[in-house]
Amino acid sequence: MSGGLLLAIESSCDETGVALLDGPRRIVGQAVASQVALHAGAGGIVPELAARAHLRWLDPSLDEVLADAGATLDDVGSVAVTAGPGLVGSLLVGVSYAKALAWGLGVPLVGVNHLEGHLYAAWLLDPGEPDRPEPAFPLVALVVSGGHTFLVEMRDHLSYRLLGETVDDAAGEAFDKAGRLLGLGYPGGPAIAQAAREVAAPGTAAGDSPTDRLPRAWLGTSYDFSFSGLKTALRRRVEAELAADGLPASEAGGRLGASRVAALAAAFEESVVDVLATKTLRAAEALGARTIVVGGGVASNALLRGRLAAGAAGLEVDLVMPRPGLCTDNGAMIGAAGARRLAAGETAGPDLGARASWPLARPAGTPDSRRPPTRGGAARAYARARDAEADAAGRGTG
Ligand code: KG4
Ligand code: ZN
């Protein structure tokens, strides 16, 4: 990795994240501008609004982070940016911004896979947080976000073997759809967790009452996940209860009354968490993992955290779950992954593009797709031009 601070930018979805890292793990400043309020009325993310909001918030976020860290742009030695997967319009705002900054400062740029960022959040250290050892390999990593759900094995940095993934909805997407069905609004994950807490203390199996129990899709012994059947089961349950109250099936579940909404939210949360935790713990045990790492927005769920903590303790495996603010989208996680990519010698050129789809790991036998999208010749030309400019300006990029 080159000297100086690493500036990291995330704009793949509905959070504008900017962070400064000193080394691959230490956060020295960060800001996240959330668009939750902007999209809440629509019940989901409006891509055009999201892209415009990123444009609006990147500059002030960068100013805030530099001020926080007591740094200036002259202290920035490299730039990392999310290049995919995500909303292309939103990604392009961040990618263009990062390219301009890297070019202007004459420092290396690296394009980061957002999913790799969620995973590397487990390596981050907050400002002032005492040093702690890095997660030990081999490890099993669960990524559970709004758009993705998968389980990988890592035997070394930047190397992934896909164990299983969702065959339909992502876990976060399932929470968001269930939130709408229950009339709880967007995003559904935190709203369902909060509603579920009204039936019991967090960490208890409130959602497992025999009458409200919802199904789990185990898919045999595979490490794949499926949540669409659970969502359908919840919809049928809501419709049946509405019909019993003489209400039309099209009514939002909120018409059910707070205690029924809370009970169904708890049952839904319990079903998702049971499958996620059981498969993750089973993989860790089967593969002899030393560590379990969890990332993505759903990893901020308290029931999931508690269930994994208890299971990992039983297996005597270390569990690393970032604090909730580092599980949801943020710039620091992009810095943590970007630093590793830079250290491995990866850089991107002015033709760095945005990729709507970019799997971190594919099932065995399919081509590697981890590298960011660049056209080789132009990337090399950019690197040469950048180095020449850096030499002229008297600041090294190595
Ligand atoms: O990783 P993330 O911030 O964005 C994506 O990359 O998708 O994840 C957002 C997802 C949303 O679907 C949201 O409902 C879910 O994470 N989420 C939660 C919780 N907090 C956020 N799901 C369950 N429980 C939570 N506490
Ligand atoms: Zn994410």
- Would you say residue 384 has pLDDT above 90? no
Domain ranges of the chain: 5-126+327-393, 139-322
pLDDT given at position 140? 98
**Interval 266-302: pLDDT, tens:** 999 999 999 999 999 999 999 999 999 999 999 999 9
Which residues have CB less than 5 Å away from ligand 2 (the ion)?
Answer: 145, 329
Ligand nearest to the CA of 170: 1
Minimal-distance CA residue to ligand 1 atom 22: 189
Atom of ligand 1 nearest to the CA of 15: 3
pLDDT tens digits, 301-316: 999 999 999 999 999 9
Number of alpha carbons in the 13 Å side-chain half-sphere of residue 105: 22
* Tens of pLDDT, residues 225-264: 999 999 999 999 999 998 888 887 766 666 788 899 999 9
**Residue 390 alpha carbon to ligand 2 centre in Å:** 34
Query: Which of 47-51, 247-251, 373-377 is the least confident region?
Result: 373-377
Residues in the ligand 1 pocket, defined by CB under 6 Å: 13, 145-147, 172, 175-176, 187-190, 193, 296-298, 300-301, 328-329
Q: What is the CATH number of domain 139-322?
A: 3.30.420.40
Q: At what angle do helices 171-181 and 188-197 cross, to 10 degrees?
A: 70
pLDDT tops 90 at residue 45: no
The predicted pLDDT at position 246 comes to 84
**Matching CATH topology for 5-126+327-393 and 139-322?**
yes
Handedness of CA 167, 170, 175, 179 (dihedral sign): negative
Its pTM stands at 0.89
Burial class (CB in 10 A: 0-12, 13-18, 19+), 108: buried
**pLDDT (tens digit per residue) in 330-358:** 999 999 999 999 999 999 999 999 999 99
Of 175, 275, 303, which is best to mutate to test ligand 1, by the most ligand atoms within 8 angstroms of its C-beta? 175
Cβ atoms < 10 Å from Cβ of 316: 7
Domain 5-126+327-393 listed as CATH 3.40.50.1000: no
Whole-number Å distance, alpha carbon 4 to ligand 1 midpoint, is 32
